[in-house]
Amino acid sequence: MKKLLTTSLILALLIWNSVLTYEVFFNRPADTTVNPDGTVVQTVVTEFDTDVTRVVENSIEKVVGIQAIQFDEVFSTGSGAIFDSKDGLVHIVTNNHVVEDASKIRVVFANGEEVEAKLMGSDVFTDLALLEVEVTFEVNAFKFGDSSLVKVGENALAIGSPLGLDFQGSVTMGIISGKDRVVPVDLDNNGVDDWDSIVLQTDAAINPGNSGGPLINLAGELIGITSMKIADSSVEGMGFAIPINEVMPIIQQIKENGKVIRPVVGISAVSLDELAVYQKSYYGIRLDLNAGLYVMSVMDGSPAQLAGIKEGDVITTFDNVNITSFKEFRKLLYSKKVGDVVSVSYERNGKSTTVDVKLQ
């Protein structure tokens, strides 16, 4: 009896050893190794998941690639942020320079669907455009942040299609490097600045093709539309985005009116600082007068004409602000609304006059 028990115990131990051997050598996970002494080393791999990856996962479908087409050829590519979506009608914000002069615009969604878009309107000064597409699939829009609350040093993500749609959905990360940066823009490439863009600065990589795409915070909120970067071999990490608080009123106007409605004075003018001495003498302008606008012409029935302003006058102040350039004048004018009354001072034959002008 004792011999039978001993034999059974030995047999059980042999069977258990066989099971362990099989588990170690034939049924072990791929990420385990067995040392010569028989010890098993297992590498545990944890799925990488952070706030950033979740933000990207929830946001990337809200970004589109854009192709601007002319004569059946793609001549410009960029990105866009989904502004709103309801009942299959989707509105997308992008940059004006991405779609300018396009005869056809194609939007490529993150799921690969391609849809021809309608340009609802654009604005050259703020470099914004609004597209409209109809879709048969579900599309989600961005939630909007408040760019006035953005803090320098907080993280920001840029999503877009750098260098074309082959890299659609590329994500770069950086920080907000600065707020309320003023970047002069020459809109007609004549060497004279026409506009001052107020932008957010970021060191998140912004490359050609990112234009029009979103800059978002780590809450997944849209805080800006990427628009430009300083492209210089001596400069690194200086990209810019139009703050969403600047974007919203422009896009709302385009959505409602198909354009941005801005007030007019009704003059054609040139900055005195652009005139040479001999030109001032020719126009009869005081040589010691270096700031202001020389009025080249006045439109019939315009606010300027109704207020008594004439060709040859020099406008020196607008809304009680001294005018130093046409760019500054335009910025002040476009900050007003149609119907506003502003005070304008001008000089004629050495005499200064101030009048009220009702903007149209």
- The whole-number pLDDT of residue 21 equals 53
The yes-or-no answer on residue 127 being catalytic is yes
Phi, psi of 149, deg, nearest 5: -95, -5
35: enclosing H helix or E strand: none
Question: If you write DSSP's letter for every residue of 53-65 in order, what string do you get?
Answer: HHHHHHHGGGEEE
- The whole-number pLDDT of residue 230 equals 77
Q: Which of 79, 170, 177, 211 is catalytic?
A: 211
Q: Lowest-pLDDT range, 4-18, 93-107, 128-142?
A: 4-18
Rg, Å, the chain Cα set: 32
Cα dihedral 275, 277, 281, 287, rounded to 10, equals 100
Phi, psi of 23, deg, nearest 5: -65, -40
Average model confidence (pLDDT) across the chain: 87
Question: Tens digit of pLDDT for each residue in 298-347?
Answer: 999 999 999 999 999 999 999 999 998 888 899 999 999 999 999 999 99
Could you give the percent of the chain with pLDDT greater than 90?
Answer: 68
- The whole-number pLDDT of residue 235 equals 75
Sort strands 221-229 and 143-144 into parallel, antiparallel or unpaired: parallel
The span from the CA of 65 to the CA of 63, in Å, is 7
Question: Which burial class, exposed, middle or buried, applies to 123 when counting CB atoms under 10 A from its CB (0-12, 13-18, 19+)?
Answer: middle
Tokens read off for 34: 């067995």
Is residue 75 scored above 70 in pLDDT?
Answer: yes
Which residue(s) pair with 29 in the sheet? Answer: none
- The whole-number pLDDT of residue 133 equals 97
Mean pLDDT for the stretch of residues 51-70: 95
Sort strands 73-86 and 63-70 into parallel, antiparallel or unpaired: antiparallel
The yes-or-no answer on residue 300 being catalytic is no
Q: Lowest-pLDDT range, 10-14, 133-137, 181-185, 328-332?
A: 10-14
Q: Which of 85, 91, 122, 127 is catalytic?
A: 127
Is residue 119 scored above 80 in pLDDT?
Answer: yes
The span from the CA of 240 to the CA of 184, in Å, is 12
The yes-or-no answer on residue 84 being catalytic is no
Distances (CA, A) of 232 to 225, 235, 238, 241: 21, 5, 10, 18
- The whole-number pLDDT of residue 3 equals 52
Question: Tens digit of pLDDT for each residue in 194-203?
Answer: 888 999 999 9
Asked if residue 218 lies in contact with residue 55, where contact means CB atoms within 8 angstroms, the answer is yes
Distance from chain centroid for Cα 11: 75
Q: Which of 76, 97, 170, 325 is catalytic?
A: 97
Q: Lowest-pLDDT range, 44-53, 84-93, 102-111, 232-241?
A: 44-53
- Burial readout 159-182 (b: 16 or more C-beta within 10 A, e: otherwise): bbbbeebeebbbbbbbbbbeeebe
Strand, coil or helix: 134: strand
Is residue 359 scored above 80 in pLDDT?
Answer: yes
Query: What is the pTM assigned to this prediction?
Result: 0.80
Which range, 28-37, 103-112, 176-185, 223-232, has the best average confidence (pLDDT)? 103-112
